[in-house]
Chain A
Amino acid sequence: MSAYLRALRLVNFRNYVDATALLAPGLNIVVGENAQGKTNLLEAIAFNVTGSSPRTPKENEVVRWGADFTRTEARVALDGSTDERSVAIGYAPGQKKRITVDGASATSLTEYAAGGAGARVVTFFPDDIRVVKGAPSDRREFLDALLSSLRPAYARAALEYAKAVAQRNQLLRRIRDGFSSGRTLATWDRKVVDLGKTVLAGREAALPVLEEHFKDSLRTLYGPEKAAIRYGYSATLEEYSEALREAHSADVERGTTSVGPHRDDFEVLLGGVNLTTFGSQGQQRLATLALKFAARDYVREAVGEDPILLFDDVMSELDERRREYLAGYFLESTQAVISTTNLEYFDDEVLRRTRIIRISGGSILETATDGVRK
Chain B
Amino acid sequence: MATYARPVERLITELSKLPSIGPRSAQRIAFHVIRGKKEDAIGLAEALKEVKEKIKPCRRCFNLTEADECEICRDARRDRSVICVVEDPYDIGPIERTNEYRGLYHVLGGALSPLDGIEPEDLRIAELIERVRNEGTGELVIATNPNTTGEATALFIAQEVKDLPVRVTALASGLPVGGDLEYADEVTLGRAFAGRREL
Q: Using a CB–CB distance below 8 Å, which chain A residues touch chain B?
A: 107-108, 110-111, 114, 152-153, 156, 160, 163-164, 166-168, 170-171, 174, 179-181, 183-184, 186-188, 190-191
Contact = CB atoms under 8 A, between A and B. Distances in A.
B190 A153 contact: yes
B187 A187 contact: no
A191 B152 contact: yes
Given A183-B120, A184-B119, A188-B114, A153 B152 contact: no
Contacts of A110: 187
B187 A164 contact: no
B195 interface: no
Interface residues of B, number: 19
Q: Interface majority SS on B: helix, strand, loop or mixed?
A: helix
B187 A111 contact: yes
Contact of B156 (A111, A174, A187): A187
B151 interface: yes
Contacts of A153: 186-187, 190
Given A174-B114, A186-B159, A167 B185 contact: no
30 contacts: A108-B185, A110-B187, A114-B186, A152-B185, A152-B186, A152-B190, A153-B186, A153-B187, A153-B190, A160-B148, A164-B148, A167-B115, A170-B115, A171-B114, A174-B114, A174-B117, A180-B119, A181-B119, A184-B114, A184-B119, A184-B120, A184-B152, A184-B156, A187-B112, A187-B152, A187-B155, A188-B114, A191-B148, A191-B151, A191-B152
Q: Interface majority SS on A: helix, strand, loop or mixed?
A: helix
Interface of B: 112-115, 117, 119-120, 147-149, 151-152, 155-156, 159, 185-187, 190
Counting from the closest, the 8 A-B pairs by CB-CB distance are: A171-B114, A153-B190, A152-B186, A170-B114, A187-B156, A191-B152, A163-B148, A170-B115
B112 A184 contact: yes
Contacts of B113: 167
Given A167-B115, A188-B114, A111 B152 contact: no
Nearest to B113: A167
